[in-house]
Structure 1
Amino acid sequence: MGSAVNDFAGEFDKQRFQTVDDACKLVLKHFYMAKVDLKAAYRSVRISKKLPFRSKLAPGIFHKLSQAVRRMMSRRGFTIVAYLDDFFICERTKKRCAQALAVLIALLRKLGFCISWSKVTDPCQKIVFLGVEIDSTTLETRLPISKLTDLKSELAEFLLRKHASKKQLQSLAGKLNWASAVVRGGRVFLRRIINGIMRLKQDWHKLRMPGEILQDIKWWHDFMSTFNGKSFFLAKVPITSVVTDACKSGAGGFYHSDWFYVNWVEDYPFATQLHINELEVFSVALAVKRWAQNWRGKRIIVYCDKAATVSCMIQ
């Protein structure tokens, strides 16, 4: 008694599910998009009696099937994004997009899947995929206003909590992860919430809200209070000419023909107490502060010689 089904699942290979970001990478100005959803997808495949309800292995197994469909479409000359039972199509012209849609539907039906016809979206330049609106005319992603309002209310409620159950935290984390598809850098303020969830074994187990989790929730709350729910696509080609470095006495950075240097003692006395790994991260932050206006809407690759700093920035 007391053991969860997933406690007996054992180790399994981690799989990367495709996201809204993968869909946006296919979208260019005025491209056409379409979408196909499956109806009761779990009824289209045979399920082993050894695979119980709510098993954490189940999504990964079905993921392999939908990715097989994606590869079949690739062999037919079309690039699509597949997230479990949701399929996203993007092509340069309306005619080409309609052709890809017809081929995908025919393939899915041939494989024995049922189509949710009410959710099929014909070629258009504004579409909702995985709860996020993608617009190819403005190259924007948007969060629906109703869901954005609900999320703001939930964040305000969480700030008043002293305890939260695992299920409540999972619900919040899921919504914040969804919002992170549009909120650039939002996942940085999600990690500690996930770590808190991992401490709890059962859905009804409660966590006394530690300060670091409340700080992250407050960041989300403050950001959402002024966020309009819109985000422009980042440039396809990244800026790769940014270099930073730091040592115990100071730090510097270089971008194109511009550069900066700071002396910790004279410019930032508090930094003299920081570890070298923290100083390396600080030097990157100084570079962002100096050149942020030049990097608006861009992807940035920063070169750094500290593995710990790279790991910190990625996470």
Structure 2
Amino acid sequence: MVHSPQSPKQLMHYLDDFLTGGVAGTSDCAHNLQSCMQVLNHFNAAVAPEKTVQPTTKITFLGRELDTVVRHVRIPQDKIVETTTQIRGWLSADRKKVTKRDLQSFVGKLNFMCRAIPRGRAFCRRLIDETCKLKSPFHRCRLTTGIKDDLALWLQFLEHFNGISFFQSPVWTSNTAMQLITDAAGGVGFGAYNEGKWTCGHWPQQWVEEGVTKDMTLLELFPIVLSVGMP
């Protein structure tokens, strides 16, 4: 995926698909479309009129519906059903291995989902690493406990996912500007400060006994989630 050097914020090119955008209430989109058509015609490039969409606030691009009014991306429900069905098949007790080709195809489906669920990429990493270990498309990968744990998490999420994700802001707000500060210590507890309000506490004894406090990723996330719900 590359951007036009002339207008990097207005034109996106993906293989043979072009998407252009502009400021609401202006003729930016119409002008961009006209310019694109002129360039394509100049080089005698084939254009499919039936696939050319006039300026609109809702469009299907690369299989996902983009709505600039409500600012969300929608994944078609049939794609979600297809993916969850495959995950259930892989999680069945009699499924022990899959081929590299099947694994690559499945990772492609998850990458499609991650265009609307960017946080899901972390749960694709293990699968991608496994494809790199196999040379032939017909070589088989064992579905380890770790892989099945990732698949189970995807299944749990997708079974309750309505297919909609809001546009992600390209501008990140620092925790200093938000006045949000959190910390966690595996052997002690946690603390959180959010715009003049604060909380702290020790980890539940059950967490200590079950080994939950050994997972620092979870412990660091806990006070962040807790601070969001501060009254």
TM range (shorter): 0.7 to 0.9
Question: What is the deviation of 1:274?
Answer: 5.5
The code of the aligned residue for 1:193 comes to L
Question: What is the deviation of 1:271?
Answer: 9.1
What SS is found at the alignment partner of 1:122? coil
Q: Equivalences for 1:136-151 in 2 at 5 Å? A: 136-151=68-83
The percent of aligned pairs where both chains have the same amino acid is 27
Q: What is the rounded CA distance, in whole Å, between the counterparts of 2:201 and 2:44 in structure 1?
A: 64
Q: Does residue 288 of the first structure (1) align with residue 219 of the second (2)?
A: no
Q: After TM superposition, what 4+ stretches of structure 1 lie above 6 angstroms from structure 2?
A: none
By relative contact order (CA 8 Å, sep 6+), the higher-ranking structure is 1
Q: Does residue 90 of the first structure (1) align with residue 45 of the second (2)?
A: no
Q: How many equivalent residue pairs?
A: 222
What SS is found at the alignment partner of 2:47? coil
Q: What is the rounded CA distance, in whole Å, between the counterparts of 1:145 and 1:222 in structure 2?
A: 16
Q: 1:220 aligns with which of 128, 131, 154?
A: 154
Q: 1:252 aligns with which of 185, 188, 191?
A: 191
User: For 1:187-214, what per-residue CA distance to the aligned partner results, in whole angstroms no more than 9, with x for missing partners?
Assistant: 1211111111111111000112111111
Structure 2 stretches lacking a partner, 5+ long: none
Q: What is the rounded CA distance, in whole Å, between the counterparts of 1:282 and 1:226 in structure 2?
A: 22
The code of the aligned residue for 1:71 comes to P
Q: What is the rounded CA distance, in whole Å, between the counterparts of 1:273 and 1:284 in structure 2?
A: 12
Distance 1:293 1:238, change over 3 A: farther
Normalising by structure 1, report the TM-score: 0.62
The code of the aligned residue for 1:96 comes to D
User: For 1:43-69, what per-residue CA distance to the aligned partner results, in whole angstroms no more than 9, with x for missing partners?
Assistant: xxxxxxxxxxxxxxxxxxxxxxx54xx
What SS is found at the alignment partner of 1:150? helix
Q: What is the rounded CA distance, in whole Å, between the counterparts of 2:209 and 2:193 in structure 1?
A: 23
Q: What is the rounded CA distance, in whole Å, between the counterparts of 1:269 and 1:124 in structure 2?
A: 55
Distance 1:272 1:89, change over 3 A: same
Contact 1:252 1:283 in 2 (8 A): no
What SS is found at the alignment partner of 2:6? helix
Q: Does residue 118 of the first structure (1) align with residue 57 of the second (2)?
A: no
User: For 1:58-99, what per-residue CA distance to the aligned partner results, in whole angstroms no more than 9, with x for missing partners?
Assistant: xxxxxxxx54xx11345xxx7212223222111123632111
Q: CA RMSD in A?
A: 2.7
Structure 1 stretches lacking a partner, 5+ long: 1-16, 18-65, 295-315
